[in-house]
């Protein structure tokens, strides 16, 4: 199982665990999403949908702030988008959440 996961990873295939790998063996049909992985060979950010009152640039900046140490393909896509928008990654500030039940 581990060698199958490792071989897939060397070829850019991300499989979450042995059970998923076994299920793939019985697949007769495969559907792909539109992340850019089919045509470009790697994921890329296509849309950013921030919550009301939050700027798109802030979402990209904060998302990139938690990704610099990661080699995951989605992390690289986020960092590339931040670089393309000239928004350097920055760590999110720690905020203390207030619980309404506590005073």
Spot the catalytic one: 10, 33, 95, 100.
33
**DSSP notation for the chain:** -HHHHHHHHHTT----HHHHHHHHHT-S-----SSSTTTTSS-------PPTT--HHHHHHHHHHT-TT---HHHHHHHHHHHHTT----PPPP-PPPPTT--
The yes-or-no answer on residue 47 being catalytic is no
- Residues designated as active site: 33
């Amino acid at each position: 199982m581990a060698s199958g996961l490792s071989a897939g990873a060397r070829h850019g295939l991300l499989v979450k665990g042995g059970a998923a790998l076994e299920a793939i063996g019985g697949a007769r049909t495969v559907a792909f999403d539109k992340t850019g992985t089919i045509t470009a060979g790697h994921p890329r950010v296509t849309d950013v949908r921030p919550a009301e009152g939050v700027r798109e640039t802030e979402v990209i900046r904060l998302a990139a702030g938690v990704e610099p140490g990661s080699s995951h393909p989605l992390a690289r896509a986020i960092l590339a988008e931040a670089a393309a928008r000239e928004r350097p990654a920055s760590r999110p500030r720690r905020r203390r959440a207030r619980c309404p039940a506590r005073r």
